[in-house]
Amino acid sequence: MPSEKSLELIRKYVDKYLGKTGTFTHPEPEVTEAVVQGLAAHVDTLGKPLCPCRFYPDKQEEITRRTWICPCDDMQQYKYCHCMLFVSEGGLPITEYLPEDHDGRQSYGDVADPSPDKAPRCKRGK
């Protein structure tokens, strides 16, 4: 069970990041809560909000790569959240900016960005 301090930290982060990206949390509160709990637990045990939706043979090594620290590389680059924490209003991950061969596009099809004015890094030319 994560600490209240870490839960509060993650909840504040989620609220701020929703505004920054123009995304929504999953319409099923249980999905959002499971991810928040996992992120907070990783803050308590690892010191970083490592994505709780993936398997890591070595979590400490994964932290040094930073690929799966929330927001993960795919979220920052393409506005695509594997955990389904930051999604479209309908609860689907945004796939609009993903490369054609990305597994997210294969799984969910084309899901438009609800806030293209808050485009991901790939569309800002960075």
Q: Catalytic residue among 51, 53, 72, 81, which?
A: 53
Is there a catalytic annotation at residue 72? no
Long-range CB pairs of 40-45, under 8 A, 24+ apart, other chains included: 40/2, 40/3, 40/6, 40/7, 40/9, 40/10, 41/1, 41/2, 41/6, 43/2, 43/6, 43/9, 43/10, 44/2, 44/3, 44/6
- What amino acid positions are annotated as catalytic residues? 53
